[in-house]
Structure 1
Amino acid sequence: MPRLLTSAEIARQLAELDGWAGDTKALQRTVEAADFPTAIRIVDRVAEVAEEMNHHPDIDIRWRTLHFTLVTHSASGVTQYDVELARRIDEIVREHPLA
């Protein structure tokens, strides 16, 4: 089982991420895409990466607004897997037009 990150570890790594917030329970980011098709393309690409990593985010889609929540459910909190997925989501988001 992956190790839970401490509050200090999470805070340090959040400072390196784009638009993420969180604590030991979960990491969250909201993204507003340029339009609905772009939002779906972002979600589709995130799904591909999540499958590659075998680590899946919770995603709420509201028109062109995407809410991502990352938590390692098997560990009941935030692990390095969540931070790495957040980095990968940031890369994907940068490749798409935002509102």
Structure 2
Amino acid sequence: MPVAATYLVAAFAEIAGCFAFWAVFRLGRSVFWLAPGLAALVLFAYALTWVDAAAAGRAFAAYGGVYVAASLVWLWLVENVQPDRWDLIGGAICVLGAALVVMGPR
């Protein structure tokens, strides 16, 4: 699986898992939301092991930019809150930083 696809799987699994906890503890949803939330968090952690990287920290750092961008997509599509220009500028900076981590000369 391409690295970008792997990071997207990881990001949406992490966001979904964290959102399940948010839904229970902040939105008053049933505790039964926690089971799929935990499964999603396990998928997130496992998906990051699919990245072919010499160092876990570098893979995780690069993932961070993808996570921020995916969170803004989640904000818009799931929570129905349109990201503002500051969200978009901040997300772009994070993605640029992730690209530097991945593609920087070594």
TM-score in terms of structure 1 length: 0.30
Question: Highest relative contact order (Cα 8 Å, sep 6+), 1 or 2?
Answer: 1
Query: More helix by proportion, 1 or 2?
Result: 2
